[in-house]
Structure 1
Amino acid sequence: MVNLGDTRSHVELATTPTHTPTAAQLAAVESEINRLIREALPVRTVAVSATDASERPDSLPADYVGTHSVVRTVHIADVDANPCCGTHVTNLAHLQAVKLLHTDRIRGNNTRLFFLVGGRVLGALGSAYAVSRDLTAVLSGGQETFVETAGRLVKESKGQAKVIKTLLKEIAGYVAVELAARVEASGHAEHHREDGDMDYLLVLAGLLKEKGVLVGARVVMLSAGEKAGGGPMMVLGVDEERVNEVVKGITGELDGVKGGGKGRWQGRVKTWKGLEKAWEVVGKVGSQ
């Protein structure tokens, strides 16, 4: 089965787990296809009788009788012959070029082979070259170094993320001490960190639980993320009615509040506009 697609085409191949096209085989097929295109092999159509067994192509279903008992067969020189009712070029040179791309496994054992033909090959080359030029400037090196440079940057990014996570855990320890003191004094506390994330809030919530300050009607609101971009939020407390009251109140002050949970409500907010008003809600409920 062939699908021409909007930007690239694919053909579905009947394969098995142990017999799928290798890179070498695909390269050989692509080379041979383009050789035949350069030779401009002629393409012609032949009408054959659907009732004459000697004339019927092997690929034609046994129960197919055709229109007026005639089957139209498309011949590519002496390379291939298949029944088809579609529109075809008069010779292979009109295809210009074929580029085989990649394969995907589908429907169990079948393989889908993606490819480009004609002007799409040049279009894809132009797009790839433009991206390559942009990446050359961004990565300070030619395309032959892209994979190595990207791999190094990903490794460095992971290392930096690990360091940041460790530092945030240390910061959370100091913040937890301050919040615990505020909760002990007033029955509530609020904390927001723009460069924090949900992991940071979870560490902070765990430290507050260890300190045993979340008792009775006490409530704590924790949040993180840039003011304009929103981010994660948690409301802590053992009194579910108080927690729900806080959530209901801050939902009216913050945009796009979504989340849930018992004892420890957690979710996200679209923007932190109105955060100070939300803190006032926490203070009002926590001071009752």
Structure 2
Amino acid sequence: MAFQCQRDCYMKEFVTSVVSCCPAELKHEVNGKKETLKGFNVKLQDTILFPEGGGQPDDHGLIGDVPVLRVTRQGPEAIHFVGSPLEVGQEVQVQVDWERRFDHMQQHSGQHLITALADTLFGYKTTSWELGRQRSTIELDTPSVKPAQLQALEEAINEKIRVHVPVTVQLLSIDDPAVEKVRSRGLPDDHAGPIRIVDIEGVDANMCCGTHVSNLSQLQVIKLLGTEKGKKNKTNLIFLAGNRVLKYAEKSYSTERSLVALLKTGPDDHVDAVDKLQKSVKLLQKTNLSLLRDMAVLITQNFKNDPQRGNFFSLHKKEGDNEFMNIIANEINTEETLVFLTVGEEKGPGLFLLAGPSGRVADMGPRVLEMLQGKGAGKNGRFQGKANSLARRGEVEAFLQQHCKHHTSEEE
């Protein structure tokens, strides 16, 4: 069965009726977190909302005024997940999110064109592809693509776009001899009905369920951004088609203007300017670490020269690292003195080190870890790790001081 979205990829609104509506759940990610939504699976008499398939994501849109959050295919049926129930039998107007749909049409037709020409020009077969949110990737069955080949491929692609090559769709029965002549990576196990062929005139004929432009001119332009090493001696070719190229150019120009303001140089000098800045920062970091090490030694000498020093030493330093803390702990006689050190933001994340007599450190380390909401471990009189929050540092210090007083009174 071909859905209305496959018969007319340019239809933006459509009137149909509700066949069924059943309670359902949808698992999806929101800001990187997996959530389960409760809602309803709706079947319509027909639909202009494309169900995910053929490497193309699903459409979004509305059934009446109810947002459609996901569309999937089950055999010959399209299943629409919505948050509110719809009455079975009622007539509804379906609207597609056209910006999303047309973007998918441009990327998908662009993939067909790139795949066909990569094969024709160089014999590189496409083994899979991904239509991403910002860029798309074609996996080519070759260990590498030379820069000259990439340039020749891009020129050939855009030449086809400039000469307005038509794109047509045919429906053939599965036993039609013409089916054997078209490119295909196989049909899904639950395929039903006629075979859908997307034909780029004189370029490529391919089995495909997706939505496509009707003429290559509607792709506007395709930019091959480059390649990345793929898996198992394959190469990932990264591309943008149509409006994504315009958005990429706009974003790149905005970034360029920001860099001009920050670096005080023209675009052609940005790389050199950043290189100089990085070298300068590395030198400053090296100098800063050297000063911190010297400071650590002076801090411990000052403590050891204090006749009123006692048996507890505590220090927080916003700037510093594990080496800074370990220098202090090494310089102080931790067999007699309990040392508590932290570096980082005062109420934010940081690093900590607890050093002292082995038994006492082993006893107190887990409690310190708990109070700092951190992760760490200890042995041989050292307990150190990462603190998620140093907000309770004062409480930790008071706890350790109390422990030291209690230990001292027991010795007396």
Q: Deviations over 1:35-64 (max 9, x none)?
A: 110111112234556446576226346999
CA-to-partner distance for each residue in 1:79-111, whole Å, 9 max, x for gaps? 222222333222110111111113222322122
2:404 aligns with: 286
Structure 2 unaligned regions, length at least 5: 1-127
**Quick one: distance in 1 between partners of 2:294 and 2:228?**
46
Higher alpha-carbon deviation: 266-275 or 141-150: 266-275
1:224 alignment counterpart: 343
Q: Aligned with 2:153: secondary structure?
A: helix
Higher relative contact order (CA 8 A, sep 6+): 1
- Residue 335 of structure 2 is aligned with which of 203, 215, 219? 215
Residue 280 of structure 1 aligns with an amino acid whose one-letter code is A
Q: Does structure 2 conserve the Cα–Cα contact (< 8 Å) formed by 1:74 and 1:81? A: yes
Q: Give runs of aligned pairs for residues 97-112 of structure 1, distance below 5 A.
A: 97-112=221-236
Choose the corresponding residue for 2:245, options 121, 124, 147: 121
Query: Partners in 2 of 1:261 and 1:225 — Cα distance?
Result: 20
Worse overlay, 272-281 or 90-99 = 272-281
| TM-score normalised by structure 2 residue count | 0.60
Partner of 2:198: 74
Q: Quick one: structure 1 residues 183 and 44, their matched pair in 2 at CA, closer, same or farther if it must change by over 3 Å?
A: farther
Structure 2: which amino acid aligns with 1:256? Q
Using the TM superposition, give the Cα deviation of residue 76 of structure 1 relative to its aligned residue in structure 2, in angstroms.
1.7
1:43–1:91 CA contact under 8 A, matched in 2: yes
How far apart are residue 143 of structure 1 and its match?
2.0
Please give the TM-score of this superposition, normalised by the length of structure 1.
0.84
Once the two structures are TM-superposed, the CA of residue 30 in structure 1 deviates from its matched residue by 1.0
Report 1:30-109 matches (<5 A): 30-47=154-171, 50-51=174-175, 53=177, 56-57=180-181, 59-60=183-184, 71-109=195-233
The alignment status of 1:237 with 2:356, answered yes or no, reads: yes
Q: Secondary structure at the match of 1:115?
A: strand
- Which is strand-richer, 1 or 2? 2
Deviates more, 1:20-29 or 1:274-283: 274-283
Q: How many residues align?
A: 277
In structure 1, distance between residues paired with 2:173 and 2:400:
85
Partner deviation per Cα, 1:151-199 (whole Å, 9 max, x = no partner): 1111111111011111111111111212334599522211222222222
- 1:157 match: secondary structure: helix
Residues 125-204 of structure 1 aligned to structure 2 (within 5 Å): 125-181=249-305, 185-204=309-328
Is 1:259–2:356 an aligned residue pair?
Answer: no
CA RMSD of aligned residues (A): 2.9
SS at match of 1:2: strand
- Larger CA deviation: 114-123 vs 85-94: 85-94
Aligned match of 1:6 = 133
4+ residue stretches of structure 1 with deviation over 6 A? 61-66
For 1:201, the aligned partner's letter is M
